[in-house]
Structure 1
Amino acid sequence: MSKRLRSSEVCADCSGPDPSWASVNRGTFICDECCGVHRSLGRHVSQVRHLKHAPWPPTLLQMVETLYNNGANSIWEHSLLDPASVMSGRRKANPQDKVHPNKAEFIRAKYQMLAFVHRLPCRDDDSVTAKDLSKQLHSSVRTGNLETCLRLLSLGAQANFFHPEKGNTPLHVASKAGQILQAELLAVYGADPGTQDSSGKTPVDYARQGGHHELAERLVEIQYELTDRLAFYLCGRKPDHKNGQHFIIPQMADSSLDLSELAKAAKKKLQSLSNHLFEELAMDVYDEVDRRETDAVWLATQNHSTLVTETTVVPFLPVNPEYSSTRNQGRQKLARFNAHEFATLVIDILSDAKRRQQGSPLSGSKDNVELILKTISNQHSVESQDNDQPDYDSVASDEDTDLEATASKANRQKSLDSDLSDGPVTVQEFMEVKNALVASEAKIQQLMKVNNNLSDELRIMQKKASRLEKQNSTPESDYDNTPNDTDLDDTGSGRKGRQRSVVWQGDGSVPDTAEPHAAPSPLLPSTEDVIRKTEQITKNIQELLRAAQENKHDSYIPCSERIHVAVTEMAALFPKKPKSDTVRTSLRLLTSSAYRLQSECKKTLPGDPGPPTDIQLVTQQVIQCAYDIAKAAKQLVTITTKENNN
C-alpha cells in the first residue's frame, strides 16, 4: 500500500513530486512541465487531462489510477529498468533537468518513438504477430488485469479486433464479464461500443443482459462521447441518455447572422460529405475542443506568469503522421477560427451527426473538408480575402512548433496587420445554461495573476533579451471569447497566416497606426519609457478587473477611459509610421482594443438603445479586451527590448 501511495505522488517521466495531470492512454501521472511536452505531441500520442480541474467519468479516473499504481509506467520504460541501460548512459529525466531539451527529448523518445518498450522477437509476417496479440487481448479482458492489456495494446494488439472463431470483439468479452475498467481502457484505444457480434448484439446488450447496469450506461456515454463533448463545450450540459435524449443542438442567439449565403453554403457542403469524411472532420473538431479546453485549464492552474515561460506552447493541433497533409492542414486551421466561427462549425456538426444517425440521406458531393473550413472561416469577414493565398507553406512538422520556424512562416502572410481580436461569443445556450460569470472570474483571476507580476517580468525581459529572442518571434495565439478558452499565450507576433478582418462597432474610428504621416521610421522609444507606460496600463487594467470581479459595473466606463488615456500615451511614444510590420500590428491591436473596450463598457449605461444588455456577456467582452491590451503592450515591450539591445 505504501508503495502505491508513493508511486502516485511522483511524475512518471521525471519523478517530480505531486503530479497534477494524467496521460489517460498511457496510464501515468505527470507534472506540469512534463505535461507541456505531452500536449505538444498531440492526442494521438498522449491524451492529457488535469486530475482536479477537468471533468472525469469516475470509472475512467479509476482506470488510470489502477494502471499507474500497478506499474503501467514500466511498460513505457521497460529497457531503462535493465541495469545495462545505466552502463550505456541512458537514463530517465529528473526534476532538475531543463524542459528543453532534456525532458522533452526523453518524453518524445518514451512515448512517441517507444524507444524503451519491450520488443517482441522479429517475425517475417507482422500481421500474424498483431493477430496473436489481439487474440491474447481478447482473452485477457475478461479478467481485471489492466496492465497486461495495456502492455498488449502497446505492442500492437487491436482494441476493435474481431475474433474469427469467437465472433466478437474484446469489448463484447469485457462487457459480458462486467469488467468496466477494461471497457474504459479498450474505449480509450478506440473500441466501438456499437459494434455488433456475429449474433447482432452490441457490448451494451451484453452488459444489460448480465445485469451490469453501470457499465451499460457508461458504454452508451462512450458511444456518444464525441457529440456529448462538443455540446458540453458550447452549453455546459450533456444529453440525458438514460431517458433517450442522445443529442443537444445549441442555437445561436443572433441566428440572423447565421443565415448568410456563405453560412448556408458551408452547411450544405458539410451535409454533402461522405460519412467517412464527416467522421474525420468531427474527430478533428473534437481534438480542437480538447486543445482549447486543456489550454484553459493549463493557464488557470499555472503558478507562474504566463508572460515569460519556458513551458511548451501548443498554438494549434500537432501533426499526426498517420493523417494526410491535407487533413493535417485542415486540423491546424481550426485554431484560427474565432469563437463565433468555431461555434457555428460545432453546431453544424452536431446537427448533421443527429441527421445522419436518423438516416436522412443527402446527395453526395466532391467538396472536401478543406473547402468547408475555408468557407466557414470566411463567412463573417467584411472584406474579401485572398483565398488563393496558402494558409501554410506546408504541414507543420514537430520542429515547426519551434518558435523561430513558426514565426518565419507567419511573417510571410499578407494579413499580419489585421490580426486583431475577435467578435463576441453569441451562443444563447451557453449564456443560459452555464454560469458565465464564474468563468469570467476565473479569467479575471488569471489575468490579475499575470499583471501582478508584469512589472518584475518586464525588467527580467530587459536583462534576458537574448533568451527571449526566439520567444519574441513566435506568432501570437488566437483569443477566443468563450469562457472555455482562457488563451493568453506567451507568443509574439502573429499566428501562421490568419487572414481575417475585424468588424469595428465602437464609437468613433480606430486610429490607423499604419497610415503614413511621415516616411517610415525605424526609430523606437526607449525600453524604459515603454515599460513605464505599460506599468500604467497594467495598473488601470487591474482596477478594471477588480471592478468586474466585484460586480461594480458602473466603474467600467471610468476605468476604460483611464486605460484609453494610458494606451494613447503609450502609442504616442512610437513613430507615426513605424517601419516594422510587427510594431504596426501590435500598435493596431493596442489601440483598437482600447477603443473596443470603451464601446463595450458603454453598454452598461442605463437607457442604452437596442436590446437589453446581457451584463455577463459584456463582462466577457471587457475581459477579452483587457487581455488583448495586455498582450499588445507585452509585445511592444518585447520588441523594443530586443531592438534596443541589438
Structure 2
Amino acid sequence: MSKRLRNTEVCADCSVPEPRWASVNRGVLVCDECCSVHRSLGRHSSQVRHLTHTPWPPTQLQMVQTLYSNGANSIWEHSLLDPASVMSGKRKANPQDKLHPNKSEFIKAKYQMLAFVHRMPCREDDSSTAKDLSKQLHSSVRTGNLETCLRLLSLGAQANFFHPEKGNTPLHVAAKAGQVSQAELLTVYGADPGAPDSNGKTPIDYAREAGQHELADRLVEVQYELTDRLAFYLCGRKPDHKNGQHFIVPQMADSSLDLSELAKAAKKKLQSLSNHLFEELAMDVYDEVDRRETDAVWLATQNHSTLVTETTVVPFLPVNPEYSSTRNQGRQKLARFNAHEFATLVIDILSDAKRRQQGNSIVSPKDNVELILRSVGVRHCSDSQDNDQPDYDSVASDEDTDPELPSSKGDRTKSLDSDLSDGPITMQEYMEVKNALSASEAKIQQLMRANNSLSDELRLMQKKTERGAFVTTSSSLPSFPSTLSWSKDDTAPKATKLEKQSSMPESDYDNTFNDSEVEDSSFIRRSRLRSWMGEGHSIPELDDVETEPDPALPSTEDVIRKTEQITKNIQELLRAAQENKHDSFIPCSERIHVAVTEMAALFPKKPRSETVRGSLRLLTSSACRLQSECRKAVPSEGCPGPDMQLVTQQVIQCAYDIAKAAKQLVTITTKENTN
C-alpha cells in the first residue's frame, strides 16, 4: 500500500527528513542508512518494511503511523530525554554522523540492548512486576491508546497473558472492543488469534460476535500469516480464507529434479519432524523469505551512485541470541539455496503444513531441524564440499556441539518420540488436569517462596549486565506473529501458536501451569519446554528413545529439597557475579553441578515421559554449560582477557535455565503424585 510522506516526518534514529522505511514492532520510521543497520539486527529486534514498495495490510500500516505520530520513539529513547543525559555525554545520532560506527552503535544500543528504555524502580516484590504489567495491558487494549500498550510491552508485559479472573487474553479484549490497531500491535508481539478463553472461544469468535467482521477476517489472515507469506513469495497469490481456502501449495514447473532418492529421503525426514520442530523450521524459512524479499526491495530503491556499498549487504539471517548455535547455523545456511532450491523447500513446508492441519497421519519424529537442513542442502547444493565451511557468524557456541554430525541412535540431537497423542484434548481431560494442578498448589508454595527470591536476584543481575536495560532481551523481543493449527477436527478449538523460543512466561518463576497453558494439542503442551537439542551435555541414558516403563517418580518433597539446594547455590553464584568475584565462579558452578547430579539421580534412568526427559536434559545440559561458561572467567595464558560482561550474561542465562528446569520437575512430580 502506498503512503504520501509528510514534511514533518524524520528518521527516529538520526532525524534525517522523509524516512522511507518503518520498523513495525518498534512503531518508528527510519531512513535508508539507519534501516541498513535495522536489517542487520534481525527480525527479533526490528521488523522493517518499506513504506511504499512493500505490500502492507492497511490496518497494520495505520497502526505504525499512529504509533509514530503519538511519539512511540520516546519509549526507546526515554533516558535520552532526561536533561541529565546531555551532561553525561549521552546523545542520539544526528544526520552528520557516520553510519559506522556512530549511527550503528547507537541503533544497536537502542533496540538490541534497550539501553535507553524506562527502568522500573527496584522493589522487593519485583517478581510480580511482569504479571502486573500484563494485567495493565489487558485493561488498556480496550482503549485506543496505542503508545501506552507499546510502553507496557517494552517493559515486559506479555501479549498472550491469560487473565486468571477474566478468563481471556488481551487480544480477546481488543477484538471485542473493535480496537483494530490494538489487535495489530498485539499480534506483532506474538498474540495468538486462535487462543481459547475459559469457554473455548477465540479472539476471532469475539470479533465476529461483536459484529467486527473485518477485524475477524484480519485475525484469520494473521493466523495463517506464515503459510500465506510463503505461498505469496512463490506465486504472488494468497488463499481465499473467507471461502474456506487456507492453503495454496504451488507446483514446480519441472519436478523431474525432485525425484532423486536424496530428495525423497529429505522430504520423509521433514514429514517425520515433531510439530514443534516443524514449526521452528517453518519460522526459520519465513525469516529467510523476509530477508530475501526485503533485500529485493532494498536494491530496487537505493541510489547506488551515492549509497555506501556496506549498507546494502545482509548476506544471511542475523544471529538470534535466544536460539541455540545449531539452529542459528542452520538458519544461516538457508542463504546458500538458489531460487529453485529454496522454492523446493518452501513447497515441501507448505505441503506438510497443509497435511498436518488436516490431521493426516505422520511418522514419529526422528531427526532435528539441523539434519533436515543438511539433507535438503545436500540434495540441492552443487558444491557439496562447501557444506563443511563455517560461513556463518560466530554465535554463543556449545563447545561439544557439532552440527555437521549426522544423527544416530543415542545422539543427543535426536528428537524424542512421545507417548502422547497429537490430537485435541477433551474437556474432561482439560478439567482433570486443571483440578489436579489446583490441588497441588499448596505443595509447592515452599518452593515458590525460594524461587521468588532467586527470581529477584536474577532480574537484578540481568539489569546490571545489560547496560541499563530493564527487561532482558528474551522478555522484550517481539514474538513471532503467526499461528498454525494442527487440529484433526475443524470444529475443535485451535489454540496452537507458533511459539518463538524467546517467549517468556508471564513471570519467570511464577509459572505454574494455569488455564492458559492447557492448550488444545498435546504437542503444544510439550513444546513449552525450551529445546535442549544441540545444547551442551546430556545424561547418556536419556538419549535412548526406546525406554521401558519407569518406576514411580520421586516424591515431591525429595525434589523440592534438592531444588532448594540448587537454588541456594545459584544465589551464591549470583552474589559472586554481583560483587564481581569472578574467581568464585568455578567453585560455585561445581557445587551447582553436584546438586544437579544428585537431583537427576532421584529420577529413573530411562523416564517414559518426554516432559520429564526434556526437563532433565535442560537441567543437566545447563549445568554443564554453566561450568564451561564459568571456566571462561579465568584468563588463559597467552590469550586476551575474557569479556566479563558477556561471560556474566551467559552465566546468568545458564543459572536461569537450571532453575527453570528444576521448577518444571517439581511441577511434574507434584502433578503425578497427586493423580
Category of TM-score, reference length = shorter chain:
0.5 to 0.7
Task: Sort the Cα spacing of 1:78 and 1:6 in 2 relative to 1 into closer, same or farther, 3 A.
Answer: farther
Residue 114 of structure 1 corresponds to 114
d(CA) in 2 for partners of 1:72, 1:7:
18
d(CA) in 1 for partners of 2:253, 2:57:
31
- 1:378 aligns to 2:342 (yes or no): no
Residue 315 of structure 1 corresponds to 315
Contact 1:99 / 1:310 at 8 angstroms: preserved in 2? no
Q: Deviations over 1:147-197 (max 9, x none)?
A: 000000000000001111111100000001111100000000000101011
Q: Which stretch of structure 1 is more off in the superposition, 373-382 or 133-142?
A: 373-382
Residue 173 of structure 1 corresponds to 173
Task: Sort the Cα spacing of 1:219 and 1:66 in 2 relative to 1 into closer, same or farther, 3 A.
Answer: same
Task: Sort the Cα spacing of 1:367 and 1:354 in 2 relative to 1 into closer, same or farther, 3 A.
Answer: same
Higher relative contact order (CA 8 A, sep 6+): 2
User: Alpha-carbon deviation of 1:380?
Assistant: 3.4
Q: Deviations over 1:470-500 (max 9, x none)?
A: xxxxxxxxxxxxxxxxxxxxxxxxxxxxxxx
User: Alpha-carbon deviation of 1:110?
Assistant: 0.7
d(CA) in 1 for partners of 2:309, 2:34:
14
d(CA) in 1 for partners of 2:305, 2:5:
31
Aligned partner of 1:281: which letter?
Answer: L
Q: How does 1:204-353 map to 2 (within 5 A)?
A: 204-305=204-305, 309-311=309-311, 313-353=313-353
| 3-state SS of paired residue (2:365) | coil
Aligned partner of 1:352: which letter?
Answer: D
d(CA) in 2 for partners of 1:30, 1:304:
19
Residue 160 of structure 1 corresponds to 160
| Structure 2, gaps ≥5 residues long | 398-675
| 3-state SS of paired residue (1:311) | helix
| 3-state SS of paired residue (1:29) | strand
Contact 2:167 / 2:197 at 8 angstroms: preserved in 1? yes
d(CA) in 2 for partners of 1:367, 1:102:
44
d(CA) in 2 for partners of 1:313, 1:397:
23
| 3-state SS of paired residue (1:11) | coil
d(CA) in 2 for partners of 1:316, 1:393:
8
Aligned partner of 1:162: which letter?
Answer: F
User: Alpha-carbon deviation of 1:362?
Assistant: 1.1
Aligned partner of 2:315: which letter?
Answer: P
Task: Sort the Cα spacing of 1:313 and 1:236 in 2 relative to 1 into closer, same or farther, 3 A.
Answer: same
Contact 2:7 / 2:17 at 8 angstroms: preserved in 1? no
User: Alpha-carbon deviation of 1:338?
Assistant: 1.1
- 1:201 aligns to 2:205 (yes or no): no
- 1:42 aligns to 2:42 (yes or no): yes
Q: Deviations over 1:227-255 (max 9, x none)?
A: 00000000011000111100000001111
Aligned partner of 1:151: which letter?
Answer: R
| 3-state SS of paired residue (2:222) | helix
- 1:102 aligns to 2:121 (yes or no): no
| Structure 1, gaps ≥5 residues long | 399-646
Residue 66 of structure 1 corresponds to 66
User: Alpha-carbon deviation of 1:378?
Assistant: 1.6
d(CA) in 1 for partners of 2:309, 2:338:
25
Contact 1:16 / 1:31 at 8 angstroms: preserved in 2? yes
User: Alpha-carbon deviation of 1:393?
Assistant: 7.6
Residue 19 of structure 1 corresponds to 19
d(CA) in 2 for partners of 1:42, 1:386:
25
Contact 2:298 / 2:312 at 8 angstroms: preserved in 1? no
User: Alpha-carbon deviation of 1:103?
Assistant: 0.3
User: Alpha-carbon deviation of 1:305?
Assistant: 3.6
| 3-state SS of paired residue (1:49) | strand
d(CA) in 1 for partners of 2:240, 2:231:
12
d(CA) in 2 for partners of 1:161, 1:68:
25
d(CA) in 2 for partners of 1:259, 1:214:
43
Task: Sort the Cα spacing of 1:381 and 1:283 in 2 relative to 1 into closer, same or farther, 3 A.
Answer: closer
Q: Deviations over 1:540-598 (max 9, x none)?
A: xxxxxxxxxxxxxxxxxxxxxxxxxxxxxxxxxxxxxxxxxxxxxxxxxxxxxxxxxxx
Q: How does 1:443-458 map to 2 (within 5 A)?
A: none
d(CA) in 1 for partners of 2:92, 2:153:
23
User: What TM-score does the superposition give when structure 2 sets the normalisation length?
Assistant: 0.57
User: Alpha-carbon deviation of 1:205?
Assistant: 0.4
Residue 672 of structure 2 corresponds to none
Contact 1:8 / 1:69 at 8 angstroms: preserved in 2? no
Residue 503 of structure 2 corresponds to none
d(CA) in 1 for partners of 2:222, 2:121:
35
d(CA) in 2 for partners of 1:299, 1:189:
28
Question: What is the root-mean-square deviation in Å for CA atoms of aligned residues?
Answer: 2.0
Residue 565 of structure 1 corresponds to none
d(CA) in 2 for partners of 1:382, 1:75:
48
d(CA) in 2 for partners of 1:70, 1:308:
32
- 1:123 aligns to 2:123 (yes or no): yes
| 3-state SS of paired residue (1:22) | strand
User: Alpha-carbon deviation of 1:259?
Assistant: 1.1
Q: Deviations over 1:197-245 (max 9, x none)?
A: 1000000001000000110010000000000000000001100011110
Contact 2:333 / 2:392 at 8 angstroms: preserved in 1? no
User: Alpha-carbon deviation of 1:341?
Assistant: 1.2
Contact 1:40 / 1:312 at 8 angstroms: preserved in 2? no
Q: How does 1:488-637 map to 2 (within 5 A)?
A: none
Aligned partner of 2:84: which letter?
Answer: A
Task: Sort the Cα spacing of 1:102 and 1:381 in 2 relative to 1 into closer, same or farther, 3 A.
Answer: closer
d(CA) in 2 for partners of 1:361, 1:7:
57
d(CA) in 1 for partners of 2:306, 2:199:
56
Contact 2:24 / 2:48 at 8 angstroms: preserved in 1? yes
d(CA) in 2 for partners of 1:332, 1:397:
15
Aligned residues: 394
| 3-state SS of paired residue (1:86) | helix
Task: Sort the Cα spacing of 1:201 and 1:123 in 2 relative to 1 into closer, same or farther, 3 A.
Answer: same
d(CA) in 1 for partners of 2:44, 2:374:
25
Task: Sort the Cα spacing of 1:101 and 1:348 in 2 relative to 1 into closer, same or farther, 3 A.
Answer: same
d(CA) in 2 for partners of 1:44, 1:332:
15
Residue 182 of structure 2 corresponds to 182
User: What TM-score does the superposition give when structure 1 sets the normalisation length?
Assistant: 0.59
Residue 191 of structure 2 corresponds to 191
| 3-state SS of paired residue (2:380) | coil
| 3-state SS of paired residue (1:379) | helix
Task: Sort the Cα spacing of 1:350 and 1:106 in 2 relative to 1 into closer, same or farther, 3 A.
Answer: same
Structure 1 or 2, whichever has the larger Rg, is 1
User: Alpha-carbon deviation of 1:375?
Assistant: 1.1
User: Alpha-carbon deviation of 1:317?
Assistant: 0.5
